[in-house]
């Protein structure tokens, strides 16, 4: 007997096929025949509460998406190991030729909260513990801020600082750095607040996050 949760997905799929797919059948046909031509690379968290397509109003084919724990970007490492996030970044820039890369952090992020917990390493979390090391830099910066004695403010601040760190890590990738220097690729740091539904974007000239709608209206 299928699990009830899985049955929900099955019903959802049937609704997709009978309604949404039919409504957009020509679009899906075009995508299948002509391949993808997304508008941007979106690097977000695996958190199930954050849905890139929903919060951006994007459609099928609009976003090339990378999701991982904490929306982290590991620094470039020229070795022969398996690097899923790095591979997707290289593919997005070098093969798909995308000109915009968005790193989107979010409020109430479990990965950021985990940075402030003493989690014993076991054979069941060894990769997660290693991955969370990518948040140690943002944590150190946050602990030196005015928010260090306020737990919730500290977490929210760390989440935003982490976005900036990931943007810096993106620049360690030769394919990204070369194109950014030429003005061919543009990096965007976003922060999604789950309680308000608002997205803020990082203003690197004033070193602050501003409402995305406010920045968009300027263009």
% residues pLDDT > 90 (the chain):
93
* pLDDT given at position 72: 98
Task: Looking at the structure, tell me whether residues 175 and 140 fall in a common domain.
Answer: yes
Mean pLDDT of 159-165: 98
* pTM over the 0.75 mark: yes
Task: Looking at the structure, tell me whether residues 87 and 187 fall in a common domain.
Answer: yes
The answer to whether 90 and 64 are in contact (CB under 8 A) is no
- pLDDT of residue 74 exceeding 60, the answer is yes
C-alpha distances out from residue 211 to 62, 70, 72, 154, 208, Å: 22, 21, 22, 20, 10
Task: Looking at the structure, tell me whether residues 4 and 108 fall in a common domain.
Answer: no
Task: Looking at the structure, tell me whether residues 140 and 104 fall in a common domain.
Answer: yes
C-alpha torsion 58→177→174→70, nearest 10? -50
For residue 7, give its domain range. 1-34
- Tens of pLDDT along 100-128? 999 999 999 999 999 999 999 999 999 99
- pLDDT of residue 218 exceeding 80, the answer is no
Nearest CA to 179 out of 90, 93, 92 is that of 93
Task: Looking at the structure, tell me whether residues 126 and 21 fall in a common domain.
Answer: no
Total structural domains within the chain: 2
CATH, residue 109: 3.40.1050.10
Cα 112 from Cα 108, distance rounded (Å): 8
Task: Looking at the structure, tell me whether residues 19 and 50 fall in a common domain.
Answer: no
The answer to whether 90 and 175 are in contact (CB under 8 A) is yes
Task: Looking at the structure, tell me whether residues 186 and 128 fall in a common domain.
Answer: yes
Mean pLDDT of 41-48: 98
* pLDDT given at position 3: 83
* pLDDT given at position 213: 79
Task: Looking at the structure, tell me whether residues 24 and 56 fall in a common domain.
Answer: no
Task: Looking at the structure, tell me whether residues 149 and 178 fall in a common domain.
Answer: yes
Cα 57 from Cα 55, distance rounded (Å): 6
Task: Looking at the structure, tell me whether residues 14 and 59 fall in a common domain.
Answer: no
Task: Looking at the structure, tell me whether residues 128 and 53 fall in a common domain.
Answer: yes
C-alpha distances out from residue 97 to 62, 144, 189, Å: 14, 39, 19
Mean pLDDT of 11-19: 95
- pLDDT of residue 16 exceeding 60, the answer is yes
3-class state of residue 196 by DSSP = coil
Cα 67 from Cα 162, distance rounded (Å): 15
Mean pLDDT of 66-94: 96
Task: Looking at the structure, tell me whether residues 99 and 54 fall in a common domain.
Answer: yes
- Tens of pLDDT along 165-202? 999 999 999 999 999 999 999 999 999 999 999 999 99
């Amino acid at each position: 007997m299928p699990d009830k949760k899985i049955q929900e997905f099955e019903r959802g799929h049937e609704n997709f096929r009978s309604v949404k797919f039919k409504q957009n059948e020509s679009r899906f046909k075009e995508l299948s025949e002509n391949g993808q031509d997304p508008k941007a690379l979106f690097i977000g968290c695996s958190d199930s509460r954050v849905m890139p397509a929903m919060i951006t109003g994007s459609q099928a084919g609009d976003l090339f998406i990378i999701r991982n724990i904490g929306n982290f970007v590991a620094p470039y490492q020229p070795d022969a190991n398996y690097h899923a996030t790095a591979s997707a970044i290289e593919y997005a820039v070098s093969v798909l030729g995308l000109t915009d890369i968005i790193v989107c952090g979010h409020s109430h992020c479990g990965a950021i909260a985990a940075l402030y917990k003493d989690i014993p390493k076991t054979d069941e979390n060894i990769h997660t513990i290693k991955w969370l090391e990518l948040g140690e830099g943002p944590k150190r910066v946050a602990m030196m801020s005015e928010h260090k004695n306020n737990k919730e403010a500290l977490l929210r601040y760390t989440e935003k600082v982490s976005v900036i760190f990931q943007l810096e890590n993106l620049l360690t990738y030769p394919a990204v750095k070369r194109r950014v220097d030429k003005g061919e690729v543009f990096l965007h740091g976003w922060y999604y607040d789950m309680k308000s539904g608002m997205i803020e974007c990082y203003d690197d000239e004033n070193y602050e996050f501003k409402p995305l709608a406010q920045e968009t209206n300027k263009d």
